[in-house]
């Protein structure tokens, strides 16, 4: 049985299976006791999971951040008026740079890789609580020391960013 289904998939379920589903939002149904995150992943499939939510997925912070979920969208995307979503915007070129496809409970979504997420951490530092920021930077320092952080890829991403010289200096001061 699916955790979250789109209306096109719900048509193929039996009557008993459909009775177990509740309508979460227009065109999206889910089983009653499931996490709403899957629904948001389906509804905002063009977005990229970022910041605190992505830090949680990569296990770079100790706690799992429940809500609000952080999503990045292309400039021009409609404003989301949902208190469970924190929306960020970026240009088309920068938005998809460093994204990887992940699967959570059968739902595919885009997520920033660890290298790109570090840049997002610096760019959107004012949106992150200070203790979580320190914890994430400490995790990145451990990744760099253990050789699990791809420094050349990170430098390539930094070179494509505005204010790249600031990020290069922060890389050497905070992480390396």
How many whole angstroms separate alpha carbon 127 and alpha carbon 143?
23
Question: What local confidence, expressed as pLDDT, does residue 140 receive?
Answer: 94
How many whole angstroms separate alpha carbon 17 and alpha carbon 77?
34
Q: Are both 63 and 118 inside the same structural domain?
A: yes
Give 130-158 pLDDT, tens digit per residue. 999 999 999 999 999 998 999 999 999 99
Residue 90's beta-bridge partner residues? 74
| pTM of the entire predicted model | 0.78
Range of the domain at 5: 1-34
Q: Are both 72 and 21 inside the same structural domain?
A: no
Q: Are both 11 and 76 inside the same structural domain?
A: no
Q: Are both 98 and 22 inside the same structural domain?
A: no
Q: Are both 108 and 140 inside the same structural domain?
A: yes
What ranges make up the beta strands (E) of the chain? 4-6, 21-25, 28-31, 48-49, 69-74, 85-90, 99-104, 107-112
Give 59-108 pLDDT, tens digit per residue. 898 887 777 889 999 998 988 888 888 999 999 889 999 999 998 888 88
Q: Are both 70 and 99 inside the same structural domain?
A: yes
Give 2-28 pLDDT, tens digit per residue. 454 444 454 555 554 545 555 555 555
Please state the domain count of the chain.
2
């Amino acid at each position: 049985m699916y955790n979250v289904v789109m209306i096109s998939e719900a048509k193929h379920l039996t009557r008993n299976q459909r009775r177990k589903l509740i309508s979460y939002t227009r065109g999206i149904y889910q089983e009653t006791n499931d996490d709403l995150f899957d629904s948001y992943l389906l509804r905002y499939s063009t977005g990229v999971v970022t910041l605190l939510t992505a830090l949680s997925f990569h296990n770079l912070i100790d706690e799992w951040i429940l809500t609000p979920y952080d999503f990045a969208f292309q400039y021009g995307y409609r404003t989301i008026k949902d208190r469970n979503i924190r929306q960020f915007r970026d240009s088309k070129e920068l938005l998809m740079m460093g994204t990887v496809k992940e699967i959570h409970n059968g739902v595919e979504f885009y997520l920033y890789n660890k290298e790109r997420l570090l840049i997002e951490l610096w760019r959107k530092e004012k949106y992150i609580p200070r203790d979580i920021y320190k914890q994430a930077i400490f995790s990145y320092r451990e990744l760099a020391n253990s050789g699990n952080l791809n420094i050349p890829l990170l430098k390539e991403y930094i070179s494509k960013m505005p204010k790249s010289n600031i990020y290069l200096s922060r890389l050497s001061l905070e992480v390396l």
